[in-house]
């Protein structure tokens, strides 16, 4: 296995120039995210698919040694070069926060394996084992990637993350071509761009008990979650380090008027109380002034027994479609889609997810809508 460290702007420029014209580039990242909101990029690995002098070599790009990252960003958005990643969601977040771009077109090998009925949610090592019959070592999974210099063991581990993905991609891409599923994979890559960084104003809907709140309380919870999101990003700290979900709910329900009520009604650690107490009281005071007409509607309650039975029947329909299409059922429909389909069929105003469009519209979403139209609602 051949790998080379790239530790300067000039070295990066030379590598990217030599790799120009490649049909695809294998991409991976190493990053750290222990006590921060944003991932801290520590290494970017590239392996070009082509016939040039840089092909089949793992290029380990050290971001700590770069000042000019524009050439790398240009490669990631080059529409003529397919970017191949495995389970890309975290890598996408790295690139979005570090470079302000997202790799396109994107071929996610984990997604491709599921669409080709090779298994849903396969990890990198399992996929390499299945396709290349190679058992990769776990090695440096818990390594400190921000330390310098990197050890030879770290570099070899990082290189394997792209060099073995190259033959994996070649086989999966060829099978996608035979089965007419390449656009399915690339379409899912485009959809991933749309869902990344979804508006933080919707975070309150992720809190499980939020559906129990009345409109006034729900409006307060949304404002609190928005404030926490902005604070976490500004301070680059995990959300729970600001205040946790339990405290958010307590603030919305108890609506403390002063310091005494805040301390007694809400479980806030003393440091958070000192740092954020005044801001939270001001935020809640502002929410009390919001007119009733501007408050959000209550969130829908969890599905009842009849609706849960319909979900089971929908899943049976999806399994049949998956068998016909030669794909894993889990990759056709996400778990949250079933509830959304039911609410749409009952006449509720729902926001249609991006991934319901494209190839899924004809293959699975349309047939499920038709089945629901004929089912006993």
Fold of 305-374: DNA polymerase; domain 1 (1.10.150)
Question: H-helix or E-strand containing 108?
Answer: strand 106-108
- Say whether 161 is catalytic: yes
Going from N- to C-terminal start, the domains of the chain cover: 3-195, 200-294, 305-374
- Say whether 191 is catalytic: no
> What's the CATH number of domain 3-195, 3.30.1360.120, 1.10.3720.10, 3.30.420.10, 2.40.110.20?
3.30.420.10
- The single residue of 7, 30, 108, 188 carrying the catalytic annotation is 30
Question: What token pair was written down for 231?
Answer: 């604070």
pLDDT in tens, the chain (377 residues): 699 999 999 999 999 999 999 999 999 999 999 899 999 999 999 999 976 667 789 999 999 999 999 999 999 999 999 999 999 999 999 999 999 999 999 999 999 999 999 999 999 999 999 999 999 988 766 789 999 999 999 999 999 999 999 999 999 999 999 999 999 999 999 999 877 755 455 899 999 999 999 999 999 999 999 999 999 999 999 999 999 999 999 999 999 999 999 999 999 999 999 999 999 999 999 999 999 999 999 999 999 999 999 999 999 999 999 999 999 999 999 999 999 999 999 998 888 999 999 999 999 999 999 999 988 65
The CA–CA distances, whole Å, from 35 to 95, 113, 237, 251, 268 equal 19, 33, 6, 25, 19
Residue bearing tokens 């030379």 = 14
Q: For position 316, what pLDDT does the model report?
A: 98
- Say whether 10 is catalytic: no
- The single residue of 7, 93, 161, 188 carrying the catalytic annotation is 161
Pick from 8, 106, 22, 99: which is nearest to 61 by CA? Answer: 8
Coil, helix or strand at residue 82: strand
Residue 145 contacts residue 63 (beta carbons within 8 Å): no
Cα–chain center distance at 207: 18
Separation CA 291–CA 275 (nearest Å): 29
Q: For position 196, what pLDDT does the model report?
A: 73
Q: What is the pTM of this model?
A: 0.93
Does the fold of domain 305-374 match that of domain 200-294? yes
The CA–CA distances, whole Å, from 125 to 49, 85, 138, 258 equal 20, 14, 8, 55
Query: Under CATH, domain 200-294 is a member of which superfamily?
Result: HRDC domain (1.10.150.80)
Residue bearing tokens 């992720």 = 206
- The single residue of 7, 28, 217, 337 carrying the catalytic annotation is 28
């Amino acid at each position: 296995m051949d790998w080379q460290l790239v530790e300067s702007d000039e070295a990066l420029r030379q590598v990217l120039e030599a790799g120009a014209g490649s049909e695809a580039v294998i991409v991976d990242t190493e990053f750290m995210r222990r006590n921060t909101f944003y991932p801290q990029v520590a290494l970017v690995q590239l392996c070009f698919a082509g016939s040039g002098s840089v092909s089949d070599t793992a290029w380990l790009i050290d971001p700590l040694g770069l000042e000019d990252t524009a050439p790398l960003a240009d490669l990631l958005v080059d529409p003529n070069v397919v970017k191949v990643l495995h389970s890309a969601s975290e890598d996408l977040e790295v690139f979005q926060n570090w470079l302000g771009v997202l790799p396109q077109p994107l071929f996610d090998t984990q997604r491709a394996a599921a669409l080709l009925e090779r298994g849903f949610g396969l990890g990198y090592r399992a996929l390499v084992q299945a396709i290349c019959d190679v058992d990769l070592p776990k090695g440096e999974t818990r390594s400190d990637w921000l330390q310098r210099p990197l050890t030879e063991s770290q570099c070899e581990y990082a290189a394997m993350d792209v060099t073995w993905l190259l033959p994996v991609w070649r086989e999966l891409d060829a099978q996608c071509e035979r089965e007419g599923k390449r656009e399915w994979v690339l379409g899912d890559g485009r959809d991933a761009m749309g869902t990344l960084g979804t508006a933080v104003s919707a975070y309150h809907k992720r809190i499980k008990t939020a559906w129990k709140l009345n409109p006034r309380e729900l409006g307060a919870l949304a404002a609190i979650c928005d404030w926490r999101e902005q604070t976490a990003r500004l301070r680059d700290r995990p959300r729970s380090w600001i205040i946790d979900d339990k405290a958010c709910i307590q603030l919305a329900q108890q609506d403390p008027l002063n310091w005494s009520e805040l301390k007694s009604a809400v479980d806030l650690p003393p440091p958070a109380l000192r740092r954020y107490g005044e801001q939270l009281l001001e935020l809640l005071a502002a929410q009390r002034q919001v007119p009733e007409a501007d408050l959000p509607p209550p969130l829908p309650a969890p599905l009842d027994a009849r609706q849960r039975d319909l979900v089971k029947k929908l899943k049976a329909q999806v399994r049949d479609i998956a068998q016909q299409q030669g794909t894993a059922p889990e990759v056709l429909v996400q778990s949250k889609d079933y509830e959304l389909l039911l609410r749409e069929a009952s006449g509720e105003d729902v926001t249609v997810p991006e991934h319901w469009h494209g190839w899924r519209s004809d293959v699975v979403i349309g047939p499920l809508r038709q089945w629901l139209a004929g089912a006993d609602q």
